[in-house]
Amino acid sequence: MSRGHRWAWLAAAVVALPATALAQRALSASGAVTYLDYCVEAGFGVERFSGITATAAAEFRLLRGLDAAVSLELGHLDASTSGFLNRSLAQLGLTAKIPMGSMVVWQAGVILRSYGTAVAHQRWMLATLGAELRVPFPTRRIEGVVRGTYFPMVEERGLPRPSVAFSGTAGLWYRIAGTRLGVLGSVERYEFPAAQAPAREEQLARLSFELAVDLTRRRPVASLPEVPGSDR
């Protein structure tokens, strides 16, 4: 299957699965504001970009023991290194989640990412496998979060498959009155082996402030029908 066909199939999945999930029960909706620092080392010095991104996400219950999350991140990154163009960032993510009790969540998904400048676009396609560990504090309102993700497939036109591709996340959640506030820091790193060009390393560091709202609602308990003559 060609690269273009893989993009088409994954894009269709990203569109179709959330549409199916919409028919199911919504669990939460969230938004985040992130400071992102993006560094590239390709043998010609460090290229550095930074800026603010905004993310909207929703989580749904597909089946018992299987949830799905959809996210969209958009932002603008200014070039901190002279001689380079500013970039826009657009990222669409789809993740399947399998909770194992209240502390561990297994995750797998797909990310479509695009960097754009005034003259060109760079498109990434990533498959993700990972796990999330949630550690409750004695107060019960606060949870520690640790997340590790491996990228078994990374495709970007013009680059070889990376020898290293992973991300790590850690932070805190605070729950109050059906909402969740979070502060999370993450590092995402790639190392591309040297083929005909110099070795290439890329790193994204994020500091995110999140707000999530619980959308689950208890169904009203149906009242029992009145029995004729019961008021006598």
- Domains annotated for the chain, with CATH where assigned, are 29-214 (2.40.128.100)
d(CA 128, CA 203): 16
**pLDDT of 20 strictly over 60:** no
Per-residue buried b or exposed e for 39-66, using 16+ beta carbons within 10 Å of the residue's own CB: bbbeeeeebbbebebebebbbbbbeeee
Alpha-carbon distances, residue 203 vs 36, 126, 133, 164 (angstroms): 10, 15, 23, 11
Q: What is the pLDDT of residues 203-212, one digit of tens each?
A: 999 999 999 9
pLDDT at 103: 93
44 compared with 129, residue with greater pLDDT:
129
**pLDDT of 21 strictly over 70:** no
Sign of CA dihedral 214, 219, 220, 221: negative
d(CA 72, CA 112): 10
| Of the candidate ranges 137-141, 175-179, 209-213, 214-218, the one whose mean pLDDT is the lowest | 214-218
